Chain A
Amino acid sequence: MGLRKTPAALVAFGTAAALAIAGCSSSSSSSAGGSSTSSSAPAQLTVWRMGGSVASQVTWMNNVVTQFHKDFPAYANTKVNVVWVPWTSRTTDWNNALASGKNAPDITELGNTDTPTEASLGVLTNVSSYVNSWSNKAGLVSGMLANDTQNGDVYAVPWFGGVRGVWYRTDQFAKAGITSPPTTWAQLVTDAQKLQQTSPGTYGIDAITDDTNAFASFLWGSGGQIATQSNGTWTANLTSPADEAAIRYYVSLYRTYHLSPSKYIGQTELGNTGSTSGGANTDFGLGKLDLYIDGPWASATMPTNSVDKANWASFPIPSENGPNTAPVFAGGSDLAIFKTSKYPQADWDLISVMDNTANSTSFANLQGFFPPYTAELTGGPYKTEKFMSGFATAAVNSQVSPLNAKNWPTADTGKYFIIPDMLKSLMNGAPFDSTVAQANSQLQTVLNSGAES
């Protein structure tokens, strides 16, 4: 299980663009698969996983590989090489693998918001024929599969999904005299203020700027939309009254109510962009933050010296006026076959083991996600468990669009950070109307642009 060298991005600058294109690569380790073996039984399959290597997930993967060798005796000698890729460098690494032709994955995990973009860029293999003859196809959550389908062709299969909610501590709630979780924005502020008062030295809530997947719930929670599509054309809605109310509210958490510290401006839930600690996630774990917006998977990145874990609980992100919860972004990961892989059949066979009902469910549970199968979701134990119940409630009211739009990664985490930049400017005191209007027109332009101008 090799850890990937991350700072490859650091050295690449200027002329590196030319070097990469010219086919020079600084990487030295072996490339995927043994080219001398026949296409039916590759010597090695390389699987790219996102995030950091976690012991329990490594064990899980080892079990999958054992099962793979057992179910498909033809691959008994096929080695499965797992490479861990940090989320932040995934697109760079995919591109570099394509550009250099070396160290490319056979199978890659990718965020469900990445799939439409990468599919349209031609990075993924069309897996329609495999999926259509797959017995598990019928059981998949249909919306998740639809996200991976373009013009009737399937480019990836859903692996797991998850939603965000608000983390809190039951003992802190009791101390502040809060008997039930807030269901409106006003209550959210009041409760955060109470928590900040009764737990001195803590921040009430994290109004971070660089997590649009979470902020979307506020835009949707006032009845707004980020952008809507009709006849193939996107219209950005940030200047609508509902969206503006949400933006004003979110910015006020910092500027008016001082519930969120200034250091969260420009940060993701994990800290400064590009780092994986020192942010709201760490602060909540150490008891310095009272309310923390993230999915259940965040427990994997909480510091090991986190305090008061037994009292962790969750509630759904409230909507503006309640009592219904705000719609949440249905996030998750897909599995896809990389275009350059020489062994699509073997890749698919491995995917079918990784993503079967039992394995995807055990994997989802391991990480705090939900499996991609409808039956598991509705019949699962999630509703009754204290920590997962808030997320399970939230998951019922979920939305993806426009976060799966072809150009969304470009607009939000790629070349542009339109909504994060807007929130950051507003929190730093920029004039409201012109800043939002500018972000709105930029968003509309990017969403409607071609994949490559």
Chain B
Amino acid sequence: MVKTVSGRPGRLDSPAGPSSRAPVGFRRRASIFIRRRRLAPYLLILPSAAVIAGLVLWPTIQIAEFSFQNYGLPQLVGSSPAQWVGFANYSQILHDPEFWLSLRLSVLSAAAMVPLTLIVGTLVGLLLSKLGRKMAAFVSSVSILAWATPAVSASVIFVWLATPDGGVVDWFLTKLPAWLGGGAHWAGFSWTNAALPAYALATALVVWTGFPFIAIAVFAGLRTIPAELFESARMDGAGPWQIFWRVTYPLLRPIFQVLFLLSVIWDFGVFTQVFIIIGELGQRDEYNLGIYEYATAFQLPPAYGLASALAFILTIILLIITVGYVRASVREGALR
């Protein structure tokens, strides 16, 4: 910490001439106070802190309150008072088989989405680094288009591609030779009325919209690695596989770790795409955690208390994943 000159109290009086011996003005005194206490940084973050407190902290506190109450429609309308129910909401959720089913779907789909997005994104990032300037610009801007497509539009398009009524996916699969798994049994195949095909479609969609971000980040990271490192690796006889795992990956590890963390958070909480693919709320056996939570809150009868408890459970699950991961990363020295 360096003590600034302006922070020294003695200096405040020195420039004042005899004529300004009069009482110090309010603005002046305020600035003295701020400087003496070093409040400026806090004042600067105050507006954003207030906005965050209002938009995030206050609702969080309210959700915490609701999660211990039997808060539903009668309480909302005011026809009966909210009652404190302790941990009843939490225990009800943990005893609901539907919760475990949706948790399972969330975990399994994230387990498929995250590695696939990372692998495809990394491969495209490596491809970008091999391409010439014009081609790289073309490929990256085309992928950005996929990334920029609104989730709702992309989901509607994917559902349309895979519709059993003449969708191009089913058509293509019927044309595929049998040794590749194609055949007439794909005609009119419904991708939305069972969990496995629905989440296969959702995974394809999430990977399609998610990989460009990974690719651009990896590409940007690759450009920071000096070319000599690759050259000397090649001179020593390393193949592309070895170069990636011995040179590229160790150097880009901090980037990969952040990308992994972000992908887990995004893919574990994916809502819009799955909501549209499974046909909103009609298919309970295809809910993931986010949709289960939404249905709990708003489907008849609305149970805001129960859903608040669920929101906390969801947050805690993500916190466990991310905190554990961040700790491991810090220990390895990847994140500082």
Contacts and interface: CB of A to CB of B under 8 A. Distances in A.
Contact of B63 (A15, A117, A266, A424): A15
Interface stretch (B138-146, B221-229, B230-238, B277-285): B277-285
Interface stretch (A45-53, A273-281, A356-364): A273-281
Interface residues of B toward A: which range?
35 or more
A155 interface: no
Interface stretch (A16-24, A64-72, A192-200): A16-24
A98 B298 CA distance: 12
A62 interface: no
Interface in A382-440: 409-410, 413-417, 420-421, 424-425, 428
A17 B72 CA distance: 11
B152 A10 contact: yes
Interface in B271-307: 271-272, 275-276, 279-285, 290, 293-304, 307
B189 interface: yes
B194 A428 contact: yes
A267 B308 contact: no
A92 interface: yes
A229 interface: no
5 nearest A-B residue pairs (beta carbon)? A273-B282, A274-B280, A414-B300, A266-B193, A272-B279
Interface of A: 7, 9-10, 12-15, 17-19, 21-22, 88, 91-92, 95, 98-99, 117, 121-123, 210, 261-263, 265-268, 272-275, 278, 339, 409-410, 413-417, 420-421, 424-425, 428, 451-453
B59 A262 contact: no
Of A21, A267, A275, A278, chain B has the most CB atoms within 10 Å of the CB of A21
A451 to B, nearest CB: 6
12 contacts: A9-B280, A15-B56, A17-B304, A92-B298, A123-B73, A265-B190, A266-B194, A266-B279, A415-B296, A424-B285, A452-B70, A453-B303
Contacts of B190: 262-263, 265-266
B14 interface: no
Interface of B: 56, 58-60, 62-63, 66, 70-74, 76-77, 79, 152, 159, 163-165, 188-190, 192-194, 271-272, 275-276, 279-285, 290, 293-304, 307-308, 311, 314
Contacts of B165: 263, 278
A319 to B, nearest CB: 28
A86 B231 CA distance: 63
A409 B190 CA distance: 27
A121 B299 contact: no
B281 A117 contact: no
A15 B296 CA distance: 13
Contacts of A268: 282
A210 B282 contact: yes
Contacts of B60: 15, 18
B298 A14 contact: no
Contacts of A95: 73, 76, 298, 302
